[in-house]
Amino acid sequence: DTGVSQDPRHKITKRGQNVTFRCDPISEHNRLYWYRQTLGQGPEFLTYFQNEAQLEKSRLLSDRFSAERPKGSFSTLEIQRTEQGDSAMYLCASSLGVGPNTEAFFGQGTRLTVV
Amino acid sequence: KQEVTQIPAALSVPEGENLVLNCSFTDSAIYNLQWFRQDPGKGLTSLLLIQSSQREQTSGRLNASLDKSSGRSTLYIAASQPGDSATYLCAVRSYSGAGSYQLTFGKGTKLSVIP
């Protein structure tokens, strides 16, 4: 198992364009999380899936953001009509379990720059 | 709302020194606490996970303690090495509503170990 994988590692886009990121969790991990991290800050929770169901969305997740996890495997995060304020590191994490006492494993992140 | 604070924000030490990083959280009703390491421009690497019922965890030169009632955790690094230079993030898992348990992160402590 190679851990949580994210693609692409870096993305530069023009303001107003749509972007999509992919996350492949650790095999058989039922939970998948998306976080956003801006410079000098800790990661902030965006959304969470248990299997294919999206169970929680943060207020940070505006209507320009959408996330999917078809078939409960990989997940995609799409940002429509990107703004400069969307520039950040987008981190994906996965964990195994059904209760709160789980350990989260993070990927290497996708660095988005909106110009 | 859970808030996590890490002190100091930055720390510079000569190689070989032992050091302590501090983490405090406002709501003691946590399920676990994780310490992560983040290298510049990279994702998060999980270092230690402490369940709420535990007092400490050790891995190699790292030792993390948890005082849940006072809302504090420390990460002790023994015999620091230049390769330990990174940002160290503390995160607590607590109930966030609707049957969900999310991680709340501090802003991190940036550690520089000088050869």
Q: Is A60 on the interface with B (CB under 8 A)?
A: no
Measured in angstroms, the CA of A35 and the nearest CA of chain B are apart by 10
Q: Is A107 on the interface with B (CB under 8 A)?
A: yes
pLDDT for residue A25 is more than 90: yes
Cα B39 to Cα B88: distance, rounded to the nearest angstrom:
9
> From the centroid of its chain, how far is CA B67?
13
Residues of A in contact with B102 (CB under 8 A): 33, 45, 48, 56
Q: How high is the pLDDT of residue A100? A: 82
Cα B74 to Cα B20: distance, rounded to the nearest angstrom:
6
pLDDT (average), residues A9-36: 96
pLDDT (average), residues A62-74: 93
Residue A78: CA count within 13 A, CB half-sphere: 10
Measured in angstroms, the CA of A43 and the nearest CA of chain B are apart by 6
Put simply, the chain B residues between 31 and 50 with a CB less than 8 A from any chain A CB are 31-32, 34, 36, 41-46, 49
B91 to chain A: nearest residue by CA? Answer: A42
Residues of A in contact with B49 (CB under 8 A): 103
Phi-psi group of B60: left, alpha or beta (phi > 0 → left; psi -120 to 50 → alpha; rest → beta): left
Q: Smallest Cβ distance to B32: which of A43, A55, A101?
A: A101
Q: Give the residue from B8, B6, B14 showing the smallest Cα distance to B112.
A: B14
pLDDT tens digits, residue range B36-61? 999 999 999 999 999 999 999 999 99
What is the full DSSP assignment across A16-53? T--EEEEEEPSTT--EEEEEEE-TTS--EEEEEEETTE
φ/ψ of A86, rounded to 5, equals -80, -10
Q: How high is the pLDDT of residue A1? A: 54
Cα A105 to Cα B12: distance, rounded to the nearest angstrom:
28
Cα A105 to Cα A38: distance, rounded to the nearest angstrom:
19
Q: Give the residue from B47, B42, B110 showing the smallest Cα distance to B75.
A: B47
Cα A45 to Cα A33: distance, rounded to the nearest angstrom:
8
Q: Which helix (H) or strand (E) holds A101?
A: none
CB contact under 8 A, B102 and A43: no
pLDDT (average), residues A87-95: 96
Residues forming beta bridges with residue B7, ordered by sequence position: B22
Tell me the pLDDT band of A60, cut-offs 50, 70 and 90.
Answer: confident
Q: Is B99 on the interface with A (CB under 8 A)?
A: yes
Please state, as a whole number, how many other Cβ atoms lie within 10 Å of the Cβ of residue A23: 26
Q: How high is the pLDDT of residue B96? A: 81
Cα B34 to Cα A89: distance, rounded to the nearest angstrom:
20
Dihedral of the alpha carbons of A93, B75, B50, A47, in degrees to the nearest 10 = -20
Residues of A in contact with B2 (CB under 8 A): none
Best of A95, A103, A111 to mutate (most B CBs within 10 Å, chain B): A103
